[in-house]
Amino acid sequence: MKVNWKPGTMIYPLPAVLVSCGNEEVGTGIMTASWTGTVCTNPAMCYVSVRRERHSYELIRSTMQFTINLTTEEMARATDWCGVRSGRDHDKWQASGLTPLPGVAVDCPSVEQSPISIECRVKQILELGSHDMFIAEVVNVVVDDRYLDTATGELRLDRANLLAYSHGHYYGLGRHIGRFGWSVKKPKRKSKKV
Residue 72 is given by DSSP the state B
CATH architecture of 14-172: Roll (2.30)
Alpha-carbon gap, residue 1 to 51, rounded angstroms: 36
Q: How far apart are CA 116 and CA 24, in angstroms?
A: 23
Cβ–Cβ under 8 Å, residues 82 and 31: yes
CB count within 10 Å of CB 22 equals 24
Which tens digits make up the pLDDT trace of 71-116?
Answer: 999 999 999 999 988 888 888 899 999 999 999 999 999 999 999 9
Cα first-last separation, the chain? 57
What phi and psi values does residue 2 have, to the nearest 5 degrees? -105, 150
Whole-angstrom distance, CA of residue 77 vs CA of residue 92: 12
Domain range summary for the chain, segments of one domain joined by +:
14-172
Its sign, for the CA torsion 119, 14, 130, 114, is negative
Question: Residue 78, Cβ neighbours under 10 Å: how many?
Answer: 21
| Cα–Cα distance for residue pair 136/86, rounded to 1 Å | 24
Question: Does the pLDDT of residue 154 top 90, yes or no?
Answer: yes
Which of 48-57, 61-70, 125-134, 167-176 has the least mean pLDDT?
A: 167-176
- For residue 43, the 8-state DSSP code is T
Q: What is the pLDDT of residues 30-63, one digit of tens each?
A: 999 999 999 999 999 999 999 999 999 999 999 9
Compute the distance between CA of residue 118 and CA of residue 105 in angstroms, rounded to an integer.
10
